[in-house]
Amino acid sequence: MKYWYETRAIAHRILTELLRQQRTLILWVIFPVSMLLLNGFILAEGSKITTTEAFKIAAPSTLVGAALFFSSLGGTISTIVAERESKTIKRLFISPLAGISYFLGIFVAYGCVGIGQSLLVYTIAALFGVKFAGSWLLGMIIIFCSIGSYVGMGFLLGTQFARRTEDVNSLVAGFGVPLLMLGGAFVPTSFLPKELLLITQFNPIYHMNEALLKVSYDAEDLNNYDLRLHFVFLVGFLIVSLAGGWLAYRRMLITERRL
């Protein structure tokens, strides 16, 4: 119960801060909506397909490739950097708060943001006639695996590479934008040259996009070889990023545990 109360307190605090500041939340609404509309219309025009088809393809990549990337990864980095800058993290170290609760609290907070963004993206897609074709459960698992991976990566980057708020932008842009391009968040990977497609196979965002696309568009389940491959890569990446995030957090404890 201790972990549950602590997790809830951390998540509640982050969400309250976001709601109070409003600006970030508004931008996290504007970003996926504009990305989905742009992706959908460009894809419909460029590929000569119907808008429904285009939005069906654009929705997964807009959600996991772009929206969740900036909210879950960028948000986690911002939370950690803000705590370090304001030094409130030291007060957390003094308290009996367990590290696992801190991690889970951030995951739950950005999970809530992610659910909101998922509902938003698929509601708008539904307005263009899109229906989620496959298993909702599998789709949600993929979305939560993506959020978990981003939070883990956020811990790693936030604790090791970002000390000031200004670092967040450069870090997200430097790491993120090329990965998003190669992951198919802005243009479908079918547009990429062969050489880049090879690199893309090692890009977790590509596998997140493809896994959700296969479930939502092709109505595939885990019996499908391609989907299984993407899903296994995603789970593997989730484990690696959680372990990396946790180790990075432990390392930060050693250096920051001073008043």
Partner 1 sequence: MLKIQGLSKFFGDRQVLKDINLHIPSGEIYGLLGRNGAGKTTIINIICNLITPDSGAITIDNQPLGVTTKSLIGIVPQENLLYESLTCAENLDFFATLYGLKGQQKQQKIQECLESVNLGDRSKSIVGTLSGGMKRRVNMAIALVHSPKLVILDEPTTGLDIEARYQIWELINQLRYQGITLLLTTHLLEEAERLCQRIGILKDGQLLIEGNLPELRTVIPAAAILIMHTPLEEMAIARGQSLGFSHHRYGSDLAFWLPEQKSLQEIVSLFDGIAIDSVSVQPVRLENIYVELTRERLELPSALSSSLIS
For partner 1, the closer CB: 61 or 101: 101
Interface with partner 1 includes 91 (CB under 8 A)?
yes
CB of 78 to partner 1, least distance (A): 13
Interface with partner 1 includes 99 (CB under 8 A)?
no
CB of 86 to partner 1, least distance (A): 7
Interface with partner 1 includes 95 (CB under 8 A)?
yes
CB of 93 to partner 1, least distance (A): 6
Contact indicator for 71, 176 with CB cutoff of 8 Å? no
Structure tokens at 99: 């590290």
For partner 1, the closer CB: 251 or 257: 257
Q: Which of 97, 125, 180, 215 binds partner 1 (CB under 8 A)?
A: 97
Interface with partner 1 includes 88 (CB under 8 A)?
yes
Q: Minimal CA–CA distance to 32: which of 67, 71, 70, 68?
A: 67
CB-facing half-sphere around the CA of 184: CA atoms within 13 A: 30
* Other C-beta atoms lying within 10 Å of the C-beta of residue 223: 7
Q: Minimal CA–CA distance to 43: which of 59, 30, 55?
A: 55
> Could you say which residues in the range 65-84 bind partner 1, by CB under 8 A?
none
> Could you say which residues in the range 124-163 bind partner 1, by CB under 8 A?
none
> Could you say which residues in the range 191-250 bind partner 1, by CB under 8 A?
none
Task: Kindly write out the interface string for residues 11-50 of this chain, putting x where it contacts partner 1 by CB under 8 A and - elsewhere.
Answer: -xx--xx--xx-----------------------------
Interface with partner 1 includes 9 (CB under 8 A)?
yes
**C-alpha to C-alpha distances, 102 to 6, 7, 189, 246, nearest whole angstrom:** 7, 6, 36, 11
Q: Mark 43-56 as b/e (b = at least 16 C-beta within 10 Å).
A: bbeeeeeebebbbb
Token look-up 């990864």 returns 73
d(CA 107, CA 150): 9
Interface with partner 1 includes 258 (CB under 8 A)?
yes
CB of 39 to partner 1, least distance (A): 33
For partner 1, the closer CB: 69 or 107: 107
Q: Which of 41, 90, 197, 229 binds partner 1 (CB under 8 A)?
A: 90
3-state secondary structure of 223: coil
**Which residues sit at the interface with partner 1, rule CB under 8 A?**
2, 5-6, 8-9, 12-13, 16-17, 20-21, 86-88, 90-97, 257-259
